[in-house]
Copies of this chain bind each other. A is one copy, B any other.
């Protein structure tokens, strides 16, 4: 099945917001075996939207539009789609009543504009919007399926997952699993995968690299759910056996969440001291709700003086080995372990660039030390990319190393 995603909205066309809806919908459609070959964006203009719809009706079986379903003058997707398809708009008195009641509850006046939302094209279905006022619409014609969804991702995503998916599934079963890895490059990973006996028809295996992590995505299709589940399980086990050291999680769960769950489960308290990442690891971890249960503190010692004062790093070490060295990483970690009563600590020091690199210590060089009261581990790596990329890669790697150490 060929699909076209049409995002309607001047804010996309003038570059004021990013088109995240097309990415989200494509991802979902691909997982269901539908090919979203065309993405089109157009502004809130009747004539141009008409033209875009006419082209899409010819080249796609499924059309999903997002945006333009609200109550204002600019919102015209429903009206224009109806015109192009030659369908009249009908008032749904049930929905009209619902809207009226909603306004009554809020003690607000219901305008003619609001009533507009109770109209839908003849023979179409409303799709419920649990997180906003504009419902979606599903239209089946002889040759096309057309689905109109609102623009805000916070409304569109739950609608798609709760209601739209059911209208798109066919007899075939699809299971999608992701295996998330870190510490191995995409090419090397692909080579390892190719050496495994996991490839066969109806099992699509692809890799996607981002910030030093690589996602292995397996899309399994088949009519017998039991068989594909069993086969998928076998394949994942083969990958685990070979690449287990690099796997940090499954199904794109963020490593910060995995780490926090693990620390909660083991009842361990974590503290950090960061230099080159400047608080990034701490800020990623504290983005997760409930991090306070396992996270105690982070000391960002950006200057040498702070390393000495806050963590008791020996000035001699800084003078002889430098701030970016195994010994400094070790002393940072043990200083922090001594003064906090955390169970596990990680220190990180490196050269994020763009300046400060030398032949011996290039930009991207990072030392970490993860430590508890019984043991410690030093990690040395050279991360590639610009300053932000080096900081991001080092932060992800740090969380992975803490998880492995626990």
Q: Quick one: given A283-B280, A300-B299, are A18 and B15 in contact (CB under 8 Å)?
A: no
Chain B hits for A26, CB < 8 A? 12-15
Q: Specify which of B19, B24, B29, B280 is in contact with A279 (CB 8 Å cutoff).
A: B280
Chain B hits for A15, CB < 8 A? 22-30, 36
Chain B proximity of A245: nearest CB distance (Å): 25
**Residue of A18, A39, A387 most packed against chain B (CB within 10 A):** A39
Q: Specify which of B23, B28, B297, B387 is in contact with A302 (CB 8 Å cutoff).
A: B297
Give CA–CA (A35, B44) in the complex, Å: 13
Q: Is the CB of B297 within 8 A of A353?
A: no
Q: Specify which of B38, B279, B355, B387 is in contact with A298 (CB 8 Å cutoff).
A: B279
Residue A63, interface by CB 8 Å: no
Chain B hits for A41, CB < 8 A? 22, 38-40
Q: Specify which of B17, B30, B283, B354 is in contact with A278 (CB 8 Å cutoff).
A: B283
Q: Is the CB of B24 within 8 A of A52?
A: no
Q: Quick one: given A48-B37, A302-B291, are A23 and B17 in contact (CB under 8 Å)?
A: yes
How many chain A residues have a CB neighbour from B under 8 Å? 75
Residue A16, interface by CB 8 Å: yes
At the interface with chain B, which of A117-125, A169-177, A304-312, A325-333?
A304-312
Give CA–CA (A55, B51) in the complex, Å: 10
Chain B proximity of A201: nearest CB distance (Å): 19
Residue A334, interface by CB 8 Å: no
Chain B hits for A296, CB < 8 A? 302-303, 305-306
Chain B proximity of A401: nearest CB distance (Å): 18
The chain B residue with its CB closest to the CB of A17 is B23
Q: Is the CB of A287 within 8 A of B278?
A: yes
Residue A77, interface by CB 8 Å: no
Q: Is the CB of A387 within 8 A of B287?
A: yes
Interface of A is mostly: mixed
The chain B residue with its CB closest to the CB of A24 is B15
Chain B hits for A297, CB < 8 A? 299-303, 306, 310
Residue A180, interface by CB 8 Å: no
Q: Quick one: given A37-B42, A41-B39, A387-B289, are A282 and B299 in contact (CB under 8 Å)?
A: no
Q: Is the CB of B299 within 8 A of A340?
A: no
Residue A384, interface by CB 8 Å: no
Q: Quick one: given A30-B15, A309-B339, are A300 and B287 in contact (CB under 8 Å)?
A: no
Q: Is the CB of B310 within 8 A of A302?
A: no
Q: Is the CB of B289 within 8 A of A278?
A: no
Residue A391, interface by CB 8 Å: yes
Residue A43, interface by CB 8 Å: yes
Residue A97, interface by CB 8 Å: no
Chain B hits for A144, CB < 8 A? none
Q: Specify which of B19, B29, B281 is in contact with A39 (CB 8 Å cutoff).
A: B19
**Residue of A25, A26, A286, A305 most packed against chain B (CB within 10 A):** A286
Can you list 25 contacts pairing A with B, beta carbon distance less than 8 Å? A7-B39, A12-B22, A12-B23, A13-B36, A13-B38, A15-B27, A15-B30, A15-B36, A18-B18, A18-B20, A19-B39, A38-B41, A38-B52, A277-B283, A278-B285, A279-B283, A279-B298, A279-B300, A280-B283, A282-B282, A286-B302, A296-B303, A296-B306, A297-B299, A297-B306
Give 10 A-B pairs besides A292-B302, A297-B303 with Cβ atoms closer than 8 angstroms: A14-B30, A16-B27, A38-B40, A39-B41, A39-B42, A279-B282, A287-B391, A292-B303, A298-B298, A309-B339
List the interface of chain A (C-beta within 8 A of B). 7, 12-20, 22-30, 35-43, 45, 48, 51-52, 55, 59, 208, 271-272, 274, 277-283, 285-287, 289-292, 295-303, 305-306, 309-310, 339-341, 352-355, 387-388, 391
